[in-house]
Amino acid sequence: MDSLPDSVIQYILSYLSNARDVAACTCVSKRWKDSIPFMKSLYFPRNSFDNHRSGPSPDDIVHNMISSMVKLEELIVYSPFSSSGLMSWLSLVGSSLRHLELRMDNVTEQQSCSEGPSKLDCIRCASKLESLKLWGVLMIHSPKWDDFPNLTNLEIVGARLVDKSLSNVFQACPNLTNLLLLGCEGVRSVSIELPHLENCKLDFYGPGNCSLSLSSPKLQNLEVQGCSWIKVRETICLSRLNIANTAGRVYMVDFGKLDSLEFLSMRGVQWSWDAISKMFACASGVKHLFLKVEFTGDFDTLLPFPEIDFVEFFKTHPKLQKLDIHGAMFAALCQKNSLKNVDSGLSFPSLEEVVITVRSPLNAEQKISTLESLVKYGKNLKKMVIRILHMKSSHSSTDDFFEEICRFRSMYRKIVEIQ
């Protein structure tokens, strides 16, 4: 190392980011110590100050390390810190900082607006950020942010929010291309208008009755959890769509044409049949379909699914390559009338893989008939996986069901797998 030029040493040490490693470098040699100011990234793990008992405060230690950097571009702090400490750090490096990740740990705090700048308010000092990631955020008051014109990635994990504060955050970040809100509670109605947004993942914690309106013409990937009403009209670029509601019900979906959609996932305890029908109609060109909804019905009434016509379903989804269907929805596809009027020339040429989860032994004959039809008309079917989940062995028809399934497996052993 002694024979290496200073520029090479600086380049090698620039790959270090952990604060303990950076601090240790100052003790190796003068050349290493002189290279510290040229480091681009600094990371403080959660346990950075667990054994700190005396001397400068953790806030001051972080401040001293940051102040030695010439052009710090990335700062990650998981260790506890104060609002005043954060303000002092960002005042030093705000002009050069591009990536900021903070574990806020203030979800349970109740800070009034008169107590001085909050941790969120302090972030405005880093006006040239390109990526911002926040963990454990309390956002019951709108943060005092100016615009972040360069910010393209925003991730908030574990937050208490209100509608207005979230709306103001979006207004301050007009050029986002990636948005992630994970485990967020307190939101009732979300309206997003971001012209450059491409990837969006929204996970709202609570009763599952949130409403979402989204307008982003460049949107490619969308995941939504916890919404009952969803409106997304600009869908020309949307290729992946995942809608789930594990706590509430999906009442209404309003999407534009989904001509580019390749993957669609519909999950939850209860969806209205109107919402399911609309998604089937909009996603006629989908290639991978994942269906796991237990009940239909409106409001508090849980109802079984109406019959899904087997032939019509596959005719209206001619590009379908993989079907992953669970429980009640598969049972709806196995009704007696579904296979009555099958044309001898029927074919599903695109279908290559089917994954079916069966939970009940009832109507074994109809289920086997549907499985046989999938093999018969799926001319290019390469794999069929049958998953048997939580089936009660005490049920009188269980033995008959397993006998039929084993017979089916032996007939098509090259492509059928039972799990």
Predicted pLDDT at 338: 64
Cβ distance 382 to 415 under 8 Å?
yes
Average model confidence (pLDDT) for the chain? 89
Predicted local distance difference test score (pLDDT) of residue 35: 77
Q: Read off the pLDDT of each residue in 123-147 and give the average, rounded to a whole number.
A: 93
Residue 340 has a pLDDT of 67
Position 394 scores a pLDDT of 62
pLDDT, one tens digit per residue, over 354-394 is 999 998 888 888 888 899 999 999 999 999 999 988 776 66
What is the arithmetic mean of pLDDT over 396-415? 87
Query: Which residues have a Cβ under 8 Å from the Cβ of 166 and sit 6 or more positions away?
Result: 139, 187, 190
pLDDT tens digit string along 174-207? Answer: 999 999 999 999 999 999 999 999 999 999 998 8
pTM of the model: 0.90
pLDDT at res. 173: 97
Q: Among candidates 274, 346, 344, 345, which has minimal Cα distance to 313? A: 346
pLDDT, residue 157, reads 96
What is the mean pLDDT of the segment spanning 217-239?
96
pLDDT, residue 54, reads 80
Q: Would you say 129 and 102 are in contact if contact means Cβ atoms under 8 Å apart?
A: no
Residue 216's pLDDT band, with cuts at 50, 70 and 90, is very high
Residue 400 has pLDDT above 90, yes or no: no
Higher pLDDT, 257 or 24: 257
Give percent above pLDDT 70 in the chain: 94
CB atoms under 10 Å from CB of 413, counted, come to: 9
- Cβ of 196: how many Cβ atoms within 10 Å? 14
